[in-house]
Structure 1
Amino acid sequence: MKIALMVAARTDARDRARELRLKGWTYDRIAKEVGCAKSSVSLWVRDLPKPARDVAAHMDHMRSVRLRSLAEDEKAHREAVQQAREHAEALSDEQLRAIGVALYWAEGSKSKEHDPRRCVQFVNSDPNVILVFLRWLELNDVTRDRWRLHVAIHETADAEHAKAFWAALTGVPAGDFNRTTIKRHNPRTNRKNTAENYRGCLVIYVLKGADLYRRTEQAWYGIVGGAQRRTVEMPDSPPMQSPVV
């Protein structure tokens, strides 16, 4: 009687395994469901056609794995950034001068042959970049009464909210800002900066900035010359050519 019951149970398990295999289940999943060894499942269902791979389900699984990995990497990165901010030592005047010069020459207005004006005007949308630039202005004895600020922002955004944000960041009252520059909407442009944290760009103009501009340009080309004179051993690399200025 006991043997008969065991045979009946094994037959039921085999039939169930075959039923599940026809539904596309994997060996591992069937073995777990039925409660038997994977080798037994293989023996019972080997004559059945191999189920088609569920490509959509596989892609969803891979996407979820990738998103989870990206989320973990992003969390670790943000923690590292916060630690760097909290444990950073104060910059020396020399360091801040060099950083500010490079920052201005990358993002600020420059004199051109067709428009040879030497003025200091800086535009950026990153609050951290703005803060570094303002500390650089203070290092160069550019007092706040020489700052002229205004917001440049897309017409679909909240200009007043943006102005309040930049005022809080810079310490300059919103009422002291110059008139906002509104960027008209171009329906052919697929804009990405439409989230709630979009605050346009802050434009910083320095009154009587010609002398600062000249000193910045001189310092920048000093940096360029110093960088070109560095000797870096790079195997099988041709020497860098000096740009024509």
Structure 2
Amino acid sequence: MADQTPSSRTGGRDAGLKEAAGRLRDEGRTVNEIADRLGIAKSTAYRWVGHLPLDTSAEVAVQRRRVAAGRRATRWAERRTQREDAEREAQHRAAEWVGTLARRELLLVGAVLYWCEGTKSKPANPRYDLTFTNSDVRLVELFVRFVEATGRSRRQLRYRVAIHESADAEAAGRWWAGQLGVEFASFQRPTVKRHNPTTKRINVGADYRGCLVVRVPRSRELYVWMAGVVKGLLSGDAPTPRLLEVGETG
């Protein structure tokens, strides 16, 4: 038996869809609903079933479905609002639980933060100057506070903006300087990245200020100490962490 041609296969598929569209119309489905259900253009659905009347009972059924869908959407919106309110309250309680970090706590947190986000020395490329890069000003501020806890001043650090060429590097640098309370004049020349017109980056608007690169000069001793702290935290002798129960404050 000869193979079917592409046109005959397409025609058979269309015939099946047209028949399904007719059944959906008999069930009281609108043109838009039929198009969505079958994955066809609305114009095609109208051409196939537009001449078929939508009886009164079917119209009532459509209206009922719309009302029910609206009620469901309202309920989901209320639940989403309640969930978001509960999450904000939980975050607020957790933030209050943290309170003010003692120096030891700040040193531990800062060491882990750097080990996750900072530049680390490698056997093939040994580097011991601490260099921390991030776009979140809160994490940058936390790292700077960590360095200050070791006896250094934030004004002794080296700052540099890394930003795409489509953005205002100077404005971004001044913003970072203001956030950290340091002089913009002390900032090093920015690192400008070539702009990609088809970028998938989300943060590309007026609030985009790139990343801030923070370098700690003469920090070999601090790097070695920090590596030891992280090793101690990750050692097998460290106690197994336990999650706090709801309402527990430690």
- Which of 91, 95, 109 is the equivalent residue of 2:105? 95
Distance 1:200 1:61, change over 3 A: farther
Structure 2 counterpart of 1:181, one-letter code: T
Distance 1:221 1:125, change over 3 A: same
Q: Work out whether 1:22 is the aligned partner of 2:30.
A: no
Q: How does 1:178-217 map to 2 (within 5 A)?
A: 178-217=188-227
User: Within 2, Cα distance between the matches of 1:57 and 1:111?
Assistant: 63
User: Within 2, Cα distance between the matches of 1:62 and 1:198?
Assistant: 38
Match of 2:134 in 1: 124
- Which of 171, 181, 186 is the equivalent residue of 1:176? 186
Distance 1:89 1:115, change over 3 A: same
Q: Work out whether 1:229 is the aligned partner of 2:237.
A: yes
Q: Work out whether 1:108 is the aligned partner of 2:118.
A: yes
Q: Secondary structure at the match of 1:204?
A: strand
Shift of 1:71: 4.8
Shift of 1:218: 1.3
User: Within 2, Cα distance between the matches of 1:83 and 1:196?
Assistant: 32
Q: Work out whether 1:159 is the aligned partner of 2:194.
A: no
Distance 1:103 1:177, change over 3 A: same
Q: Secondary structure at the match of 1:149?
A: strand
Name the count of aligned residue pairs.
189
Give percent identity, aligned residues only: 35
User: Within 2, Cα distance between the matches of 1:66 and 1:159?
Assistant: 43
- Partners of 2:155 and 2:182 within 8 A in 1: no
User: Within 2, Cα distance between the matches of 1:105 and 1:66?
Assistant: 41
Shift of 1:168: 1.3
Distance 1:76 1:22, change over 3 A: same
Shift of 1:187: 3.8
C-alpha distance after superposition, 1:1-30 (max 9, x if no partner): xxxxxxxxxxxxxxxxxx98435224995x
User: Within 2, Cα distance between the matches of 1:158 and 1:56?
Assistant: 49
Structure 1 counterpart of 2:180, one-letter code: T
Q: Secondary structure at the match of 2:201?
A: coil
Instruction: Calculate the TM-score normalised by the size of structure 1.
Output: 0.65
Stretches of structure 1 that go unaligned for 5 or more consecutive residues are 1-18, 30-54, 234-245
User: Within 2, Cα distance between the matches of 1:197 and 1:23?
Assistant: 51
Structure 1 window deviating more from structure 2 (213-222 vs 82-91): it is 82-91
- Partners of 2:144 and 2:154 within 8 A in 1: no
Q: Secondary structure at the match of 1:24?
A: helix
Q: Work out whether 1:148 is the aligned partner of 2:183.
A: no
Stretches of structure 2 that go unaligned for 5 or more consecutive residues are 1-53, 242-250
Structure 1 window deviating more from structure 2 (100-109 vs 20-29): it is 20-29
Structure 2 counterpart of 1:24, one-letter code: E
Distance 1:136 1:69, change over 3 A: same
Match of 2:244 in 1: none
User: Within 2, Cα distance between the matches of 1:106 and 1:230?
Assistant: 19
User: Within 1, Cα distance between the matches of 2:197 and 2:67?
Assistant: 37
- State the Cα RMSD in Å: 3.4
Q: Secondary structure at the match of 1:113?
A: coil
Larger Rg: 1
Instruction: Calculate the TM-score normalised by the size of structure 2.
Output: 0.63
Structure 1 window deviating more from structure 2 (88-97 vs 56-65): it is 56-65
- Which of 146, 149, 165 is the equivalent residue of 1:136? 146
